[in-house]
Structure 1
Amino acid sequence: MASKTLSPARQASVPPSFSDPARSPSQSRQASVEPSVISKPPSPTTKKVVEREISASRARSVSVEPEVSTPKATTPPPQSSGQSRAESLEPTTAGQPPPDTIDMDTFQQILDLDEDGTREFSRGMAWAYFSQVDSTFVDMDKAFDNKDLVQLSTLGHFLKGSSAALGVSKVQASCEKIQHYGQLRDEEEDKDLSKDDALGKIEPLLGVVKKEYNTAEKWMKAWFLENDPDGEEPE
């Protein structure tokens, strides 16, 4: 059969691999075989050496157990002495008040209201409280002598609020009891009281709350004396 000649346009579209001259199957196989493959078979000695190496390699892989990593215990880095001191510092340096006498968070909020580096506002608030307490105790004694439970409840409620505003927590709690006793209620035992029972509970509590207040007043005045030594005592 006569071979056809492709036009130049068709020749350009044919990939080079298809435009090469036809080769016989034997030529194709020879061309595809890499030179490294066409080599002499290994000698018996070489085969024995290879087999020994393979056996030794397998023995090593079986005898070697996987290494188990044990996590090391980590200890937190020690805090510097500066950090320890900073964390232990309280809002004041006058020493801590007796337990539950002063709520330091509330007291610190009052101190934060001071301006210009002075203690004028907080000092004025504290001394106003001292004056209120003195007059309220006088009124409470009169109300108790008159067995006026309504007045005792009112005064207890008033002094409870003033004490809470400054953080005088023990006085606050005792005044709340006086308030409830004046209403003929014992909230701790969840029961109603007779008038005599209420007066019987209020009488010793008046002595207790006065002692609690004296402790709080003494600590606050010492705090201002140490932290605001140049401050003037409000009139």
Structure 2
Amino acid sequence: MSPALRARSPNIIDDIVKRPPPSPSDKAPPQKKLDVKSRPASEESTPKAASPITPAKEKSDLKEVEKKENKPSKQDIIDMEVFDQIVELDDGDSFVSGMVTEYLGQVDSTFNKMDKAMETKDLIEMSQLGHFLKGSSAALGVKQVSLTCEKIQNIAKGTPTDKTIEEVTSLLKRVKEEYGAAKIWLLEYCPT
């Protein structure tokens, strides 16, 4: 607080606290308070806890929502901005198709090397392979694979403990699933 303000009102906090509350505006009528039981669900501010007994229809609806949430969308799989830039480079000479074919071969080869590295628990090799696959995936716009490979690269750099090996093993399984979804999309876009 500036010295000038302090000199004018040495007890500014006391002045603020002692002020009477503002009077209600004549333009805005007081809002009617509803009993919680009579309030429509759309007006509730906090969600209700799920009841322990869920009807069968709701359970099946929940399973459908979970399936949809777990299914990656094209935007999750492919960075279309990057992929579109590659497509722009294609002058009809199968540039994109060649890149996709090369990428698919690299990934299969790299996954074989990663499996061997995990058999021997060689986390240094896993980190290097994760780095390699991260770069080639990012170059083609295969973003989920790239992001997961970055996690493999960084976690595998750590001290080789049982927990680290377990995390890398889990990520390897996940990246293979992500690659499966990306491969389907890539092959639909440009069959090899």
TM above 0.5, yes or no, is yes
* Aligned: 1:120 with 2:86: no
**What CA distance in whole angstroms lies between the structure 2 residues aligned with 1:119 and 1:166?**
17
Cα deviations across residues 173-229 of structure 1 (Å, max 9, x unaligned)?
A: 000011011101xxxxxxxx552221010111111100100100101111124xxxx
What one-letter code is carried by the residue in structure 2 that aligns with 1:110? I
Match of 2:145 in 1: 171
The normalised TM-score by structure 2 is 0.60
Identical-pair percentage: 46
Q: Is residue 97–residue 219 contact of structure 1 (8 Å, CA) maintained in 2?
A: no
Q: Which residues in structure 2 correspond to 1:120-199 (within 5 Å)?
A: 120-184=94-158, 195-199=161-165
| Number of residue pairs aligned between Structure 1 and Structure 2 | 121
Cα deviations across residues 110-158 of structure 1 (Å, max 9, x unaligned)?
A: 101111xx25111101110000000000000000010001000000000
* Aligned: 1:105 with 2:81: yes
Q: Is residue 111–residue 119 contact of structure 1 (8 Å, CA) maintained in 2?
A: no
3-state DSSP of counterpart to 2:162: helix
3-state DSSP of counterpart to 1:112: helix
Q: Is residue 157–residue 179 contact of structure 1 (8 Å, CA) maintained in 2?
A: yes
Q: Which residues in structure 2 correspond to 1:6-85 (within 5 Å)?
A: none
**What CA distance in whole angstroms lies between the structure 2 residues aligned with 1:128 and 1:136?**
12
**What CA distance in whole angstroms lies between the structure 2 residues aligned with 1:104 and 1:97?**
12
Q: Flag structure 2 segments of 5+ consecutive residues without an equivalent.
A: 1-71
* Aligned: 1:213 with 2:179: yes
1:98 Cα offset (Å): 2.9
Q: Is residue 123–residue 160 contact of structure 2 (8 Å, CA) maintained in 1?
A: no
**What CA distance in whole angstroms lies between the structure 2 residues aligned with 1:222 and 1:98?**
12
Q: Is the deviation greater in 159-168 or in 202-211?
A: 202-211
1:99 Cα offset (Å): 3.7
3-state DSSP of counterpart to 2:74: coil
The normalised TM-score by structure 1 is 0.49
The structure whose Rg is larger is: 1
3-state DSSP of counterpart to 2:77: coil
1:172 Cα offset (Å): 0.2
- CA RMSD in angstroms comes to 1.6
Q: Is residue 163–residue 172 contact of structure 1 (8 Å, CA) maintained in 2?
A: yes
